[in-house]
């Protein structure tokens, strides 16, 4: 349910509960948003976090009333107290392989204590794998009518605003009553309407000492209530979409049950005049009602550089077109991406269609964005942003931009764009997605650290000396197998082809090389062409 009164939402929720259907109510009101979920009396979540079950290699088992499990030194265990685990491939103490899921009493990086008595088991010899067993979780949702007065705990989005969700719960109810009685929403910037909302909120909250009614926050809520902002719609469309998937699949923990959000920080510090907030009869009137005409003119005149036109790039271009960014006479959105559209892109890069396969991403996405808003001034390029293209993206180009937006899929490109932004003092919006996970970073010169100031920890890799002596865990074995695969099916055939193409040069290079592996390569070529030559 969206854009429905509280009374109507209660009626729909009651119907859904009667027929065993999930119900979601979501609203965006200016820079505020609300989501409510009711998935029934007993909703089972089969996988709370969607992560792969943790596992570890057993190096030792100390029997007792509670049993201590230790792992190999270089295998850090990821278990937590309360996890349920099972064992396999244990030699000697084979009873461990048959016991059901057992509870972890305490967990450390290289050991864990489990709730099982192993004093009567056989003597541990060697081996074993311990694996997490994910436990289902049953959630008991209350109906909307019940949870209005007893909302329970709210899902937090900003831990610096602990008191905000209960306040917004009162505020949303107060404005719902205002709309029901007045037949209209509060007017933008109208002091009388804001005061009326405050009066209703105080009356609703008179017996609730836990919530302090904040006049400033509810004033902003009343003033921006009637506006529908594209960024809010885009963000909470995604949130609600995820909740729909959760309700159908039982995977990932759903919102339980209320979620409130606000972005008051985005609003002007000083109240805007009635003239600033007055509608113009344009497609941007809702934005003007929140941020004012002057801000809208700035958005329209912005010169923006978007690096990447993939999944995030398409989303940014759509949002900018709907917001009117770079749609003024002096504005320009420059998009660059050296990639072309593939069939696999169509599942997530929504500005592309079947008939666009093989064409440049930036050009196709740009044309689609201009259909959304014909006033968008857009230049589509097919250049990779790197040191090799500094004659295209030169000092004059960077100096002319007001904002840089990254929509990239690799760290090196991000670091390069970040270095350019630092050098030219330009703000950068950095973000990335991976499945159901995402990150975003707003980088403002002189106020925040830049993207390259912090680095992610290096990915775990298996040392080659370990692989060739004793690969003892799954990561080592997989890396060893990949090394063997590349040697047998990639490097050796490539060497054989190089020999066939120019035998004299290949033999000369091998015989005059100081690399000990070079002569081994020649042996590999001999085996590939003579000893083990394929007959098919």
Strands 23-29 and 111-114: unpaired
Does the pLDDT at position 490 exceed 90?
no
Residue 478: predicted pLDDT: 85
DSSP 92: S
What is the chain's mean pLDDT, rounded? 91
Sheet holding 437-443, edge to edge: 378-381, 332-336, 303-307, 403-406, 428-434, 437-443
pLDDT in tens, 72-82: 877 788 899 99
Does the pLDDT at position 459 exceed 70?
no
Tokens of 391: 């004659």
Residue 36: predicted pLDDT: 97
Over residues 155-167, mean pLDDT: 92
Set 327, 421, 465, 534: catalytic member: 465
pLDDT in tens, 343-369: 999 998 999 999 999 999 999 999 999
- HSE at residue 295, side-chain half, CA atoms within 13 A, is 17
Does the pLDDT at position 463 exceed 70?
no
Residue 477: predicted pLDDT: 84
Does the pLDDT at position 208 exceed 70?
yes
Over residues 444-473, mean pLDDT: 76
Phi, psi of 238 (to 5 degrees): -65, -40
Does the pLDDT at position 514 exceed 70?
no
Report the C-alpha gap between 417 and 516 in whole angstroms.
41
Residue 112 DSSP SS3: strand
Report the C-alpha gap between 376 and 20 in whole angstroms.
46
Over residues 25-33, mean pLDDT: 96
Strands 437-443 and 428-434: antiparallel
Percent pLDDT > 90 in the chain is 72
Over residues 289-313, mean pLDDT: 96
Phi, psi of 106 (to 5 degrees): -150, 145
Lowest mean pLDDT among 186-190, 310-314, 512-516: 512-516
- Going by pLDDT thresholds of 50, 70 and 90, the confidence category of residue 474 is confident
Q: Counting beta carbons within 10 angstroms of the beta carbon of residue 412, is it exposed (0 to 12), middle (13 to 18) or buried (19 or more)? A: exposed
Q: How far is CA 187 from CA 6, 167, 264, 353, 441, in A?
A: 20, 21, 18, 41, 34
Residue 515: predicted pLDDT: 67
Report the C-alpha gap between 295 and 315 in whole angstroms.
22
Q: How far is CA 179 from CA 144, 172, 184, 185, in A?
A: 19, 11, 5, 5
Q: Annotated catalytic, 465?
A: yes
**Burial letters 502-516, b for 16+ CB under 10 A, else e:** eeeebeeebeeeeee
Over residues 162-174, mean pLDDT: 94
Tokens of 36: 């409510």
Judge whether 338 and 253 are in contact, CB under 8 Å: no
- DSSP E strands, 96-135: 102-108, 111-114, 129-133
Select the more confidently predicted residue: 519 or 90. Answer: 90
Residue 492: predicted pLDDT: 86
* The pTM of the whole model exceeds 0.75: yes
pLDDT in tens, 262-287: 999 999 988 898 899 999 999 999 99
Q: Is the Cα dihedral 376, 381, 384, 386 positive or negative?
A: negative
Judge whether 248 and 43 are in contact, CB under 8 Å: no
- Going by pLDDT thresholds of 50, 70 and 90, the confidence category of residue 468 is low
- HSE at residue 361, side-chain half, CA atoms within 13 A, is 27
């Amino acid at each position: 349910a969206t854009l429905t009164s509280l009374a109507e939402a209660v009626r729909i929720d009651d119907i859904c509960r009667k027929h065993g259907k999930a119900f979601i109510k979501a609203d965006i009101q200016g820079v505020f948003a609300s989501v409510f979920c009711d998935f029934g009396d007993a909703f089972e979540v089969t996988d709370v976090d969607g992560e792969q079950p943790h596992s570890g290699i057993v190096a030792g088992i100390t029997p007792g009333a509670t049993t201590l499990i230790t792992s190999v030194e270089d295998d850090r265990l990821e278990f937590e107290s309360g996890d349920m685990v099972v064992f396999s491939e244990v030699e000697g103490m084979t009873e461990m392989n048959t016991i059901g899921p057992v509870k972890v009493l305490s967990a450390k990086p290289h050991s864990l204590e489990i709730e099982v008595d192993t004093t009567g088991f056989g003597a541990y010899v060697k081996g074993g794998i311990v694996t997490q067993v994910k436990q289902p979780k049953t959630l008991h949702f209350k109906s909307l009518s019940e949870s209005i007065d007893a909302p329970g705990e709210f899902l937090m989005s900003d831990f610096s605003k602990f008191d905000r969700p209960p306040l917004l719960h009162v505020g949303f109810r107060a404005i719902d009553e205002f709309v029901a009685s007045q037949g209209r929403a509060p007017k933008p910037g109208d002091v009388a309407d804001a005061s009326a909302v405050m009066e209703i909120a105080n009356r609703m909250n008179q017996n609730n000492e836990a919530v302090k009614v904040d006049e400033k926050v509810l004033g902003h809520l009343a003033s921006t209530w009637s506006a529908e902002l594209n960024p809010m719609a885009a963000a909470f469309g995604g949130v609600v979409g995820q909740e729909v998937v959760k309700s159908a699949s039982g995977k990932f923990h759903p919102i339980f049950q209320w979620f409130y959000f606000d972005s008051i920080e985005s609003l002007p510090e000083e109240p805007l005049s009635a003239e600033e907030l007055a509608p113009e009869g344009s497609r941007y009137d809702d934005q003007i009602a929140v941020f004012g005409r002057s801000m809208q003119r700035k958005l329209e005149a912005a010169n923006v550089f978007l690096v990447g036109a993939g999944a995030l790039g398409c989303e940014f271009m759509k949002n900018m077109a709907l917001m009117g960014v770079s749609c003024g006479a002096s504005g320009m959105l420059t998009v660059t991406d050296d990639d072309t559209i593939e069939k696999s892109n169509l599942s997530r890069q929504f500005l592309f269609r079947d008939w666009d396969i093989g064409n440049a991403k930036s050009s196709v996405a740009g044309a689609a964005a201009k259909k959304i808003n014909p006033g968008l001034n857009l230049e589509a390029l097919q250049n990779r942003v790197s040191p090799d293209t500094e004659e295209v993206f030169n000092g004059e180009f960077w100096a002319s931009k007001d904002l840089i937006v990254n929509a990239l899929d690799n760290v090196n490109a991000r670091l390069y764009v970040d270095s350019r932004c630092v050098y030219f003092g330009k703000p950068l919006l950095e973000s990335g997605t991976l499945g159901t996970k995402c990150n975003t970073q707003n980088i403002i010169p002189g106020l925040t650290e830049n993207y390259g100031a912090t680095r992610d920890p290096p990915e775990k890799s298996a040392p080659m000396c370990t692989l060739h002596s004793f690969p003892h865990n799954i990561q080592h074995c997989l890396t060893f197998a990949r090394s063997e695969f590349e040697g047998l099916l990639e490097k050796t055939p490539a060497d054989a082809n190089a020999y066939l193409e120019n035998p004299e040069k290949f033999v000369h290079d091998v015989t005059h090389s100081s690399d000990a592996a070079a002569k081994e390569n020649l042996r590999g070529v001999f085996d590939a062409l003579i000893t083990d030559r394929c007959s098919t």
